[in-house]
C-alpha cells in the first residue's frame, strides 16, 4: 500500500509537465521535407489493431533477454516490457549505450525502447552539441534492417524513440542515430508535438531525480502506410514514464499526424490499447491510476 504523504498528486505532476519551452535538440529531420509521394504506399497491415479486443490478447512474459542483460540498468527492476504474442514475432533485442531496443523485423522499426533517465544524465546531455549521424544497424540481419534509402524523399522524418537530447556522452549520442532506434514520423508530429513530450519527460526527471521511460509505437488502424514498400508507418507513438521517488506513472499517447493531439493515460490503458505492458513489475494500484 502506498502512503499518501510520500506521493505527489497527479495534478502536481501534470502541472510540472505543462512547464518548459520547446527544445528541438531531440527531433530528427528526414533528408527531404517533400510531401508523401509514390514512395509511400498504403497496405493492409500484418499487425492488427489492438484496441478492438484488448482483453482477449495474451501478453508473453519472459525474463530479461540475454542480449539485454548488459543494459539491464535501463529497465525498472531489470524487467523488460511484455508484449502480445503477435507483436513478439520476429523481434530482435539490442543493447545500446544509454538505452535498449526491441526491434521488429515485421515493421522494420522498434516496438519499444527503454531508458533510465537521471538528473545527472540530463545535465550532461545538455552540454553536448548535436551531431547527427544516421546509420544502418549492422547487427540486424540484412533482410530485416531498415535502410537510409527507405526514408529518402518520403515526406516522413526519421523520428528517434530514445531522443538524442537524452544522451549524456558521444557514444550514446551516436547510438541514438541507429535506424534501429528510428520510426517514420510526420514532420509536424516530430518537430512540434513529440519534442514537447520529450522535453516534458526530461523536466520531470530533473524535478524528481530519476525516471524509467519506455517509448514505443503502435499500429492501430486496419491499414498502414509502408515506406518504399518496406518500413511500416506507426499510427501512434507513446511514452510511458515511471517516477520511482513518487511511485507514480503516466503515459503520453499521440497519433502520428499533424493534429497536435496528446492524451495522458494510465499504464493499464496503454497496455489495453497497444498490447505493450511498459512496466510489468509495477503493482496494479500504480498502473491503473489515471493521470
Question: Cell triple for residue 281?
Answer: 513489475
Residues making up the binding site:
190
The pLDDT score that the predictor gives to residue 59 is 57
CATH 3.40.570.10 fits domain 76-288: yes
Task: For the chain, count helices (H), then strands (E).
Answer: 8, 15
Domain ranges of the chain: 76-288
Which residue positions form the known binding site for Mg(2+)? 190
CA angle, corner 85, sides to 81 and 90, nearest 5? Answer: 85
Active site members: 160
Q: Cβ of 263: how many Cβ atoms within 10 Å?
A: 15
Residue 186, burial from CB neighbour count under 10 angstroms (0-12, 13-18, 19+): buried
pLDDT along the chain (291 residues), means of 10: 36 44 37 45 41 44 85 97 95 98 99 99 94 95 98 98 98 98 99 98 98 98 95 99 97 98 98 98 88 75
| Closest listed residue to residue 237, CA positions, set 211, 208, 201 | 201
Number of other CB atoms surrounding residue 55 within 10 Å: 5
| pLDDT for 56 | 39
Name, in order, each residue with C-beta under 8 angstroms of 240's C-beta and a sequence gap of 6 or more.
Answer: 213, 214, 215, 216, 249, 250, 251, 267, 270, 278, 279
pTM of the model: 0.83
Residue 288, pLDDT score: 86
Amino acid at each position: 500500500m502506498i502512503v499518501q504523504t510520500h506521493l505527489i498528486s497527479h495534478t502536481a505532476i501534470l502541472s510540472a509537465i505543462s512547464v518548459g519551452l520547446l527544445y528541438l535538440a531531440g527531433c530528427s529531420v528526414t533528408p527531404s521535407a517533400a510531401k508523401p509521394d509514390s514512395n509511400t504506399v498504403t497496405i493492409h497491415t500484418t499487425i492488427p489493431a489492438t484496441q478492438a479486443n484488448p482483453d482477449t490478447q495474451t501478453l508473453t512474459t519472459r525474463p530479461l533477454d540475454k542480449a539485454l542483460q548488459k543494459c539491464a540498468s535501463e529497465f525498472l527492476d531489470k524487467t523488460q516490457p511484455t508484449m502480445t504474442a503477435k507483436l513478439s514475432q520476429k523481434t530482435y533485442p539490442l543493447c545500446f549505450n544509454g538505452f535498449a531496443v526491441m526491434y521488429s523485423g515485421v515493421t522494420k522499426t522498434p516496438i519499444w525502447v527503454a531508458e533510465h533517465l537521471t538528473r545527472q544524465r540530463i545535465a550532461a546531455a545538455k552540454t553536448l552539441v548535436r551531431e547527427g549521424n544516421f546509420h544502418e544497424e549492422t547487427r540486424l540481419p540484412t533482410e530485416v534492417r531498415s535502410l537510409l534509402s527507405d526514408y529518402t524523399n518520403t515526406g516522413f522524418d526519421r523520428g528517434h524513440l530514445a531522443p538524442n537530447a537524452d544522451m549524456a556522452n558521444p557514444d550514446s549520442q551516436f547510438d541514438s542515430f541507429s535506424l534501429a532506434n528510428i520510426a517514420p514520423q510526420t514532420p509536424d508530429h516530430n518537430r512540434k508535438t513529440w519534442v514537447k513530450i520529450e522535453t516534458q519527460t526530461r523536466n520531470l526527471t530533473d524535478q524528481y531525480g530519476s525516471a524509467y521511460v519506455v517509448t514505443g509505437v503502435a499500429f492501430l488502424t486496419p491499414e498502414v502506410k509502408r515506406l518504399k514498400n518496406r518500413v511500416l508507418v506507426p499510427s501512434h507513438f507513446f511514452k510511458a514514464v515511471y517516477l520511482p521517488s513518487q511511485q507514480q506513472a503516466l503515459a503520453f499517447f499521440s497519433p502520428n499526424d499533424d493534429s497536435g493531439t496528446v492524451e495522458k493515460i494510465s499504464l493499464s490503458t496503454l497496455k489495453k490499447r497497444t498490447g505493450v505492458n511498459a512496466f510489468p513489475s509495477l503493482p496494479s494500484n500504480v498502473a491503473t491510476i489515471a493521470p
